[in-house]
Amino acid sequence: MVDEAALIQAAVEVRQKSYSPYSRFAVGAALWCEDGSIVAGCNVENGSFPLSLCAERAAVATAVGLGHRRFVAVAIVAGDAPVTPCGGCRQVLLEFGDMDVICISAGDHSRVDRYRLRDLLPHGFDLEELR
């Protein structure tokens, strides 16, 4: 069972560490791993803009490095209104399973939008379907 409050809190906290001097659009993402662990990541921008890293992918990279391979949910905190993961992050997340996607506004966290990842990425490249 996902502790949604803890997951959102982790995304809120990691968002404060965002390195986003160019866009000033801080994003925090937190993954609920299959074993109940929470792993978070923030966006990391670069002066060479295409090299910037989204918060979701930062969280995935950290989680995989810690040995996690299945995620149950991801919480994303950013913006005045909730934002969904970009297309690239949707595909990266799908690699590790369909999951709940919880998008929270950054200000007062009053707005929460919920999705299933597969609904956000219909017909995504899914290794499980190919096996």
Express the helix, strand and coil content of the chain in percent, nearest 5 each: 30, 25, 45
Point out the catalytic residue in the list 56, 95, 128, 129.
56
Q: Please pick, from the candidates 74, 77, 89, 117, the single residue that binds Zn ion as defined by CB under 5 A.
A: 89
Query: Closest approach of Cβ 27 to Zn ion, in Å?
Result: 8
Q: Which residue has the tokens 């297309």?
A: 87
* Count of Cβ atoms closer than 10 Å to residue 104 Cβ: 27
Query: Closest approach of Cβ 54 to Zn ion, in Å?
Result: 3
Query: Closest approach of Cβ 41 to Zn ion, in Å?
Result: 11
Amino acid at 75: A
Q: How far is CA 99 from CA 21, 23, 72, 95, in A?
A: 30, 28, 5, 11
Q: Which residue has the tokens 């989680």?
A: 63
Q: In the annotation, is 56 catalytic?
A: yes
Binding mask 42-81 for Zn ion (x = CB under 5 A): ------------x---------------------------
Interface contacts to Zn ion, rule CB under 5 A: 54, 86, 89
